[in-house]
Chain A
Amino acid sequence: MKKKDFMLFLMICIIAAAAFAAFRLLIPQENEELVIIVNGDIYGTYSLEEDCKIEINGTNVCEIKNGAVSMTEADCPDQLCVHQREIASAGDTIVCLPNRVVLQISGNSESEGNGIDATAG
């Protein structure tokens, strides 16, 4: 490994650490709730407190159970979303790319306008 290789290695580690710290600060880790996004638009926001099943546009079904969210059914060809692990903490997402469905856990701090703009487009 040459000197420049090592510098590159270090630089990427620093960027990763900085990004990790930034996201930790930007995404509040309290009052977590489930936000469902379809085609880039917010489909609905749900509390993690109560267990329930949510049908999304007739293509996907997700379930809230004991404060964790998982995708239980999907009509997508790859079924990758169904095989994703359940999510429970702010910042985590389950994505169904073919159906363009995103389940994301968003934190909510008391003070308003503190969270990052979650959606774009």
Chain B
Amino acid sequence: MKRKTAYLGMMSAAAILLGYIESLLPLSIGVPGVKLGISNLAAVFVLYYYGTKEAALVSAVRILVIGFMFGNLFSILFSLAGAALSLLVMAGVKRIRGFSVFGVSMAGGVSHNVGQLIVAALVVENFYLLYYLPVLLISGLVCGCLIGIASGAVIRRVRPESLNNV
């Protein structure tokens, strides 16, 4: 139990670091505040090693810390929408047989961006923004693939069970 708390704290720290890097790399494609979603990497890890609840916790910590340090109400809202939708979709895809961590993180990356786009369109009450849907789908897909490669490599080396049993 103590180990688990320590690991989740470490994962949160990693997520915050990734979130910070991400905040330095804004996508300048018409929809402000849309982030690449590289901090999803931590969510994918925790989802595989522990579960949905733990992943939600790590993402929430990351969003609040980054939001209060570098962001504002809108960036917090954005991140929450993206992270929540992406986590729900990833947890769903993970349950379906035949998907590996690749498929899970691709689905997560894409839904992360779609969630953010929907929030932006709702805030300004203008669905013309959906024009950016194709760009955001592809960038989410590419980012999801990269995260899939990275987490696949880690999961192969560190068995999820080894963390759960200590």
- Tell me if B165 counts as interface (CB < 8 A to partner A): no
**What 1/0 mask marks residues of chain A from 6 to 47 whose CB sits below 8 Å from any chain B CB?**
001100110111011001000100000000010110000000
Contact flag A2-B103 (CB < 8 Å), given A100-B124, A119-B128, A121-B125: yes
**What 1/0 mask marks residues of chain A from 80 to 113 whose CB sits below 8 Å from any chain B CB?**
1101110100011111111011101000000000
Contact flag A3-B126 (CB < 8 Å), given A13-B138, A97-B74: no
Cα–Cα distance between A101 and B120 once the two chains are bound (Å) = 11
With a CB–CB cut-off of 8 A, which chain A residues contact B141? 9, 12-13, 16
With a CB–CB cut-off of 8 A, which chain B residues contact A52? none
Cα–Cα distance between A116 and B128 once the two chains are bound (Å) = 9
Cα–Cα distance between A102 and B145 once the two chains are bound (Å) = 32
**What 1/0 mask marks residues of chain B from 84 to 107 whose CB sits below 8 Å from any chain A CB?**
000000000100101110110011
- Tell me if A50 counts as interface (CB < 8 A to partner B): no
- Tell me if B7 counts as interface (CB < 8 A to partner A): no
- Tell me if B163 counts as interface (CB < 8 A to partner A): no
With a CB–CB cut-off of 8 A, which chain B residues contact A1? 100, 102-103, 148
Q: Which residue of B lies closest to A5 (CB)?
A: B103
- Min CB–CB distance B21 → chain A (angstroms): 18
With a CB–CB cut-off of 8 A, which chain A residues contact B138? 13, 16
Cα–Cα distance between A32 and B40 once the two chains are bound (Å) = 38
Give residues 65-83 of A contacting B (CB, 8 Å). 77-78, 80-81, 83
Chain A interface: which size bin? Answer: 35 or more
Main SS of chain A's interface residues? mixed
- Min CB–CB distance A5 → chain B (angstroms): 4
Are A84 and B137 in touch, CB under 8 angstroms?
Answer: no
Are A119 and B126 in touch, CB under 8 angstroms?
Answer: yes
Are A5 and B32 in touch, CB under 8 angstroms?
Answer: no
Extra inter-chain contacts (20) besides given A9-B141, A19-B133, CB under 8 Å: A1-B102, A2-B100, A8-B103, A8-B106, A8-B107, A16-B138, A20-B134, A40-B125, A78-B71, A80-B26, A84-B32, A93-B132, A96-B32, A97-B32, A97-B120, A102-B124, A102-B128, A104-B126, A119-B126, A119-B127
- 13 A-B pairs with CB atoms under 8 Å apart are A2-B98, A5-B99, A5-B100, A8-B99, A16-B134, A40-B126, A84-B28, A84-B32, A95-B124, A95-B129, A96-B32, A119-B127, A120-B125
